[in-house]
Each structure stands twice: as structure tokens, then as C-alpha cells.
Amino acid sequence: MAQQIHILDEKTINQIAAGEVIENPSSCVKELVENAIDAGADQIEVLIIAGGRKKIEVSDNGIGMNSDDALLSLERHATSKIRTITDMDSIHSMGFRGEALASIAAISRFELHSSDGKEASKVICHGGKIIDQSVSPRIRGTTITINSLFYNVPARKEFQKSTSSDVREVTKVVTNLAIAHAKITFKLVQDNKEVFHLIPKQMLNELENLKLRIAKLFGSQLHDELVGVDLEKDGISLKGFIAKAKMHRPNRLGQHLFVNKRFIDSRFISFAVREGYSTRLPEGRFPVFFLAMEIDPQKVDVNVHPQKKEIRFKEPFEIKRIISTLIDRSLQGAVLPQVTHSSALKKEVFFASDESMPSYPFAREVQEVQVLKQTEPSFFPEPTLDFIPNIIGVFSTYIFVEAKSLSSKMSLTAIEADGLMMIHQKRAQGRILFDTLVQKTSKISVQNLLLAETLEFSNVDAHIIEEYLETFNELGVSLRSIGQNSFILDGLPSLIPTSAAKNLIESVLEEVSKGSSKNPIEEQKKQILASAISKSVPWKNIENFDQASILITKLFKCENFEYSPKGRPIVLPLTSSELSKKFS
């Protein structure tokens, strides 16, 4: 029998290792920028082309490397951060495994140019193979250029998301690192266009620079609502800023946590901060924060995830208690207004008769614009009833209907027809709105807001909105850019209450951020936006049988009336046999 087990060659080993460390261009940028930080750089510049797939270049003014170290740095597990396993208990650097450069070089056309101030060299590597090493003049520091990422691993390249998604992820990575290191100058250039250039003020401390940096990256509206945190308890230091309760969000996208300067995604810490807010926040809402936690390295394990995204705490419940206490103490020291559900956004007045009022392609070409007072939407205009459902009961969540009265609209078995149908009223309303927006089964009238809202976003969120701006307007959400990551919202479909404007935008950002479509075409964009919009609308409960009949009639005109836009059931049978079992 021939030998079946064999040792993989070095090239294959390196490409497998690269798959664990480098998922996409943003993983690559993260590793390179962290190396620059570890090298003591106080100026870091990141340049990407085509989301980083065509080119990534990271330059710094750190300590640099001589020719021997430059060559050695491309070997797997070559690092200056640790020497033995015991060093893992006191890690203060961003990196420590020595895998990043070797992994990146294995799947790209790689060029390293570095100088320690005395000796400078250049190393060129293609697909893990050294092509050239030569002396090349350079001032102290390092520049790494990566061309054609994943060029020799087409399977990995095939599974990448869209270029637009890569741009957002790279921006998010550099943004997080810039927040964690507010005393370092960061410059991000995308396709030869400067995204941001953050220069700290030398006369300010790190917290003061952090607050200015938050204003630059996330806008003055958030900056004005921040509460400073600078506390220590039982060996744990917590510094940074938390937003006042009225700036809450429906998700955790506004949360930025750094443990020993390392950006971490931790639901555990997020829950601890949320607990510190206690009843100051509405149910189901999440606080916005920028927090740097310093803790003894021996009390955390950073060697958990290949990309170091996760950590483990040795005393998690004690840490949770301390963080909640410190957050509560910080909020007690701030003057906090009463939490309301109204929008906390700036407002600018636009009157419907104003000749300077902008016109929109959506309003001009697709729909008839209605100038309305800001009233709650009426979901129950009188439709033509082509069948009459026999309503048995109307409750806050469900409507019960005699099953056989729906037989003309549904394919029911004899068992199902001899019973009831449960209809989830909120999901039904979401499905109706979704179909109305996407399929335009009826005209969508647009109400112009008498008080237009000015919305400010981070670079990442503004990029999403710019990408979907045309689709927003096509669906009746009148939105336009005014520069500096700011937008004016002054019109909504009349089916949507004006109070839902802020939630609507937040839901869209969440939906797009977690989306996996590679290059969404226009129809997919409509699906994404319509799904987010239908999810964000706070529908009122149906109160009587007439409204229930109208809702059911509208629902059964939808193409896929059985499921919500998120694929959850709307209509479920409750057969006679199931009912009988309840009484047996």
C-alpha cells in the first residue's frame, strides 16, 4: 500500500496560514498598521486602490530595519515582540506571533522598503518567493507595498465581498486604530483621494486629542453629547468617552472598545457598559462609546483568535462589575436630560412653498409629491375588498381568522381548512410596506418634512449612504449630501411616520454592514433598503375588525404573503386537532 501521509511543502503551508490571518484587504491593513505602531511610529500613512485588492501601501517613521532584519521578517514566526512562551504573560505590543508579513507575502506581490537610520534595503517577494534584495536609500522608517492581493489564491479571491465593502472595512480598521492611538498622526488615502488626515495637537493630552478626533471622524453632533470617563478601580483603568443616553442606537455599531490599546469586539464588555447605563436607556437600545481599558496583561489572554479580535478575561465577572460601576459613576457626574424617543438630530427649517426647496428625481419622475403635515401614517385607507376574511379575534400581536374564509387565497388541506389562521400583524405590515416600496404595487406618496433633519455620520457610514443615495431617493426617502459626511433628510414615504426617520437610517446602516452581497445591483439595493425600512417602522396595533380585514386584504395582494422580508412566518395554521389537544 502506497504511503498516504506526507508533509506539506513550505509554499502550501504559508498559503494555509495566510488564510487564517488574512481574510481580506482590511486584515492586511490591520496587521501592517499594528506593526508600524509597535515600531514606535508617530506618523502612519495608508493608501489603498480598488479597496486594497489592487494596491495597499503603509508607510511609517518607526525604528525601521536593517537588511538582515528586513529579510528575516518574511520568515514565518519571526518576531521582535517575544522570545519565549513566558513572554506571553506580559504582552504590550499589538503583534507577537510573527505570522503577518510571511502570510501577506505568500499571497501577493510584496515589496518592503526599510531603514533603521543607518542602513536601508529593499526586498521584493512574489507569492512567498524572494525575487530581489538590494540596497536602497530611505530615511528612517518602513514602507510596505502590496500589489495584487490573492493573485495566486483565486479561490480566496472569489469569496471576497464587493470593492465598496472592502473600502468600508479598511476605513473602519484605520479609524479604530486612530481612535486607540490619538497621539499618532494617521492619514488614509483611497484611490488617490484623501479620506482623512488626523494630526494630534502636541499641547493636548491623549484624552483631549481623542475628543477632537471623534469630532473629526464622527461629527460635531456626537462630539457635543459625550461624557468623559477617566476612572480607575481595583487595577482596572477606564478612559475615553461615552455618549449621553439620548444618543442610543438599535445595534452595537457605535461601540469602540480597546483593551491595552488593542481594538476588541466584546459582547461581554458591551453588556457591562449597557448595565452601567441601567434604566437611562430604552429597552433594546445600545449606548455609543469610545473606551480604552488598561488591565494587567496577565489577567487577559490575547492568543485566542488568529486575527487577535477576541480576548479572554481571567476574572470576567469581577471585571464586568467594575466596568458597570465606573460607567454608572461617570453618568452620575454628568448633567443628563430626560431620555426621550424623539430624534436628537439637528433641525433646519424648510417650508414647502420655499422656491429654494430642492426637487428630486424620485418625486419628479416616479411619484406625485404630497406636501403634508407631519402626521402618523395611515395604514388603513379603504381598499377594494375582493374577498371577506372572517375575523375571529384581534389581539396586540396576532389576528385570528377562520381558515376556510382564506381558502380562495391559500392552498389549504382539509385539516388546515377546519381551523384557524394566526396572522402576525406587525410582520404583515412590514411585508406590505416592503412590497409597496420594492414592487410599487401602488403609488408611494411622499411627505416633505416641515423640519428637515441634518444627519452627520462617520466616514464608514457616510460611504454606505453615498453608495445607496440614489436608491434612497427612488424609494421616497429624500436625502442629499451637503458634504463633510453630512446629509439633509427632508422627505419620507407617507406610510412612514416622521418620528421613525432616525431609526430608519440606523437600520439601513446595520443591514448594509452585515450584508454579504459582492456587488449589489440596483434591485438588490432596493431589497436591502426596503427590508431595513420595513423593519424600522414602529407600527401601531390594529384595534378593530375593520382594520384587520383591510390589513389581511392588503397582505394577500403581496407576492410572498406567508413570510416577512426577513423570512419569518406571517401566517400559521392552528388546526382543530391542535385546538382540541389544548382542552384534553
- pLDDT tens readout for residues 491-530: 887 767 777 777 778 877 877 776 655 556 666 777 777 7
Cβ neighbours for 412, distance < 8 A, ≥ 6 positions apart:
403, 404, 406, 573
Q: What is the chain's percent helix, strand, coil content, to nearest 5?
A: 40, 25, 40
SS3 273: helix
Q: What integer pLDDT is reported at residue 348 of this predicted model?
A: 34
What is the DSSP secondary structure assignment for residue 73, as one 8-state letter?
Answer: T
Q: Is the dihedral of CA 119, 149, 160, 520 positive or negative?
A: positive
Min mean pLDDT across 124-138, 222-236, 485-499 is at 485-499
- Closest by CA position to 549, among listed 413, 409, 385, 418: 385
**Edge-first strand listing for the sheet containing 226-233:** 226-233, 236-243, 289-294, 255-259, 262-264
Q: Find cell 419622475 and name the residue.
A: 365
Q: Where in the chain is the domain with CATH 3.30.565.10?
A: 10-198
Q: How far apart are CA 233 and CA 293, in angstroms?
A: 11
- How many beta carbons lie within 10 A of that of residue 188, not counting itself? 23
Helix (H) or strand (E) holding 293: strand 289-294
- Closest by CA position to 165, among listed 274, 52, 58: 52
- Residue 49: pLDDT band (50, 70, 90) is very high
Region 143-161: mean pLDDT is 82
CATH of domain 206-332: 3.30.230.10
Min mean pLDDT across 92-101, 116-125, 189-198, 261-270 is at 92-101
The pLDDT tens digits for 376-386 are: 455 555 555 56
- Give the strand pairing for 486-493 and 478-483: antiparallel
- How many beta carbons lie within 10 A of that of residue 316, not counting itself? 12
In words, the CATH class of domain 348-572 is: alpha beta
- Residue 445, C-alpha cell as written in the block: 406618496
Largest CA distance in the chain: 89
- How many beta carbons lie within 10 A of that of residue 208, not counting itself? 14
Q: What integer pLDDT is reported at residue 203 of this predicted model?
A: 92
Burial 413-439 (b: 16+ CB within 10 A, else e): eeebbbbbbbbbbbbbbbbbbbbbbbe
Q: Is the pLDDT of residue 289 over 60?
A: yes
The pLDDT tens digits for 405-422 are: 888 888 877 777 888 889
CATH of domain 10-198: 3.30.565.10
Q: Is the pLDDT of residue 13 over 80?
A: no
- Residue 258, C-alpha cell as written in the block: 480597546
What is the DSSP secondary structure assignment for residue 23, as one 8-state letter?
Answer: S
Region 281-303: mean pLDDT is 83
Q: What integer pLDDT is reported at residue 159 of this predicted model?
A: 67
Q: What integer pLDDT is reported at residue 342 of this predicted model?
A: 37
What is the DSSP secondary structure assignment for residue 249, as one 8-state letter?
Answer: B
- Closest by CA position to 502, among listed 550, 457, 447, 564: 457
Cβ neighbours for 566, distance < 8 A, ≥ 6 positions apart:
531, 535
Cβ neighbours for 34, distance < 8 A, ≥ 6 positions apart:
94, 95, 100, 177
Q: Where in the chain is the domain with CATH 3.30.1370.100?
A: 348-572
The pLDDT tens digits for 88-99 are: 454 545 544 557
Q: Let me know the angle formed at the C-alpha of 536 by 534 and 537, rounded to the nearest 5 degrees.
A: 70
Q: What integer pLDDT is reported at residue 389 of this predicted model?
A: 85
Q: Is the pLDDT of residue 21 over 60?
A: no
Q: Are 70 and 2 in contact (CB under 8 A)?
A: no
Q: Are 476 and 362 in contact (CB under 8 A)?
A: yes
**What count of residues does the chain have?**
584
Helix (H) or strand (E) holding 12: helix 10-21
CA distances (Å), origin 543, targets 76, 380, 432, 551: 67, 11, 18, 11
Q: What integer pLDDT is reported at residue 109 of this predicted model?
A: 93
Using a pLDDT cut of 90, give the percent of the chain over it. Answer: 24
- Residue 351: pLDDT band (50, 70, 90) is very low
Q: Is the dihedral of CA 241, 247, 250, 253 positive or negative?
A: negative
Compute the mean pLDDT over every residue in the chain, rounded to the nearest whole number: 78
Q: Where in the chain is the domain with CATH 3.30.230.10?
A: 206-332
The pLDDT tens digits for 385-405 are: 567 888 888 888 899 988 888
The pLDDT tens digits for 409-459 are: 888 777 778 888 899 988 888 888 888 877 754 556 677 877 788 888 888
- Residue 339: pLDDT band (50, 70, 90) is very low
Q: Are 200 and 182 in contact (CB under 8 A)?
A: yes
Using a pLDDT cut of 70, give the percent of the chain over it. Answer: 77
Concatenating the DSSP letter of every residue in 472-499 gives: HHHTT-EEEEEETTEEEEEEEETTS-GG
Concatenating the DSSP letter of every residue in 402-456 gives: EGGGGTTTS---HHHHSEEEEEEHHHHHHHHHHHHHHH-SS---EEEEEEEEEEE
- Residue 186: pLDDT band (50, 70, 90) is very high
- How many beta carbons lie within 10 A of that of residue 525, not counting itself? 20
Q: What integer pLDDT is reported at residue 124 of this predicted model?
A: 92
- Closest by CA position to 76, among listed 20, 4, 136, 152: 20
Residue predicted with more confidence, 81 or 228 = 228
- Give the strand pairing for 369-370 and 43-49: unpaired
